[in-house]
Amino acid sequence: MEKILRAFFLSLSKNNMATQFARKYGMPLGGFRFVGGESFDQLHKVVTHLNNDGLDVTIDCLGEFIKTEEDAKKSTDDAIDVIRTIKEKQLHGQISLKPSSIGLEVSNQSIIYNLQRLLEEAKKHDVFVTLDMEEYETCPRILELFKHYRKQYDNLGITLQANLKRTNQDLEDLQDLTPAIRIVKGAYNEHPDIDIDDKDKVDENYKKLVKTNLLQGSYTAVATHDDEMITYTKKVVNENNISTDQFEFQMLQGMREKLQRQLREEGYKVRIFVPFGKDWFGYFMKRMAERPANVGFAVKTMLEKIDWRRRRGLAPSFLLLF
């Protein structure tokens, strides 16, 4: 069933028609519960609320179906505007983005030009940037971009996926750069020769990657909602006297909010992954595919919101439920 759900959500994430529908109707039907908004005013309110609650953020600058130089430039301009907003509004935040959203699949010239100017702007405003990982076929190119630009910009991090067989070697190859790495389980369906097609083995590999990066002294973003992964991370840091300044937990906006607060109250740094932009649908479907248990977290969150409104006598309009 998990494989079926994963394939289903991935197919939706790549469906242009579904994305267009979500752009037009998705936010008022409940998308904003898991998305920072489509405007800077919406984003500012969401991030300010999280910051006031003691939570840092990484704003994920969304962009899907980027196929032309013009689209890539526009997406890069949007991300630069987010960087400037973080600085101007004095928000406690970083940005994340997929290289494909700024020209990876358009041309080498496009991705190099756009990434360079984005990193220059981020350095100018002291904003950290994390490159998201994508499908396996783009993995080598993303890693090469990171290796090249990390030498010039210490405000650049990268995401690695625990479900890929190559990731342990990739992690080892990056250590000379003292990298800041976000570790995720991985969402993409690949070939059996490429990915680890077993949940328990992916979990074990996730733990291995977290421990390896922490013990190397590199900054580690533990991106998970999984209690077992969180407990394991706490165990590693406690047993090895690792400072809380060397790692953080990352969770998706709208997911496991009680756990977010609990970790913060325990003294851990918690960063919330806040998607921003009209192309939030593909992002959200990939997060569901990454761990189908996220579906349960999402439904539970929405039901808690419904119950909260019901107990306060609010109108049970469908548009208010989420």
Residue appearing with tokens 């100017």: 117
The letter for the amino acid at 315 is A
Q: What share of the chain is helix, strand, coil (3-state, %, to 5)?
A: 55, 15, 30
Name the catalytic one among 182, 256, 287, 291: 182
From the list 174, 176, 249, 178, the residue with the least C-alpha distance to 219 is 178
* Dihedral sign (CA 200, 192, 176, 146): negative
Residues 6+ apart with CB under 8 A from 164: 136, 139, 186, 190, 194, 195, 196
DSSP E strand boundaries for 119-161: 129-131, 156-161
Q: Is 132 a catalytic residue?
A: yes
**Closest C-alpha to 88, from 120, 44, 56:** 44
User: CA-to-CA distance for 278 and 249, rounded, in angstroms?
Assistant: 26
* Structure tokens that stand for 21 in this block: 């529908």
| DSSP-assigned states of every residue in 194-242 | TB---HHHHHHHHHHHHHHHHHTT--EEEE---HHHHHHHHHHHHHTT-
Closest CA to 243 of 263, 223, 215: 215
Is residue 249 within 8 A of residue 230, CB to CB? The reply is yes
- Choice among 60, 78, 132, 203 that is catalytic: 132
Q: What residues are labeled active site?
A: 132, 182
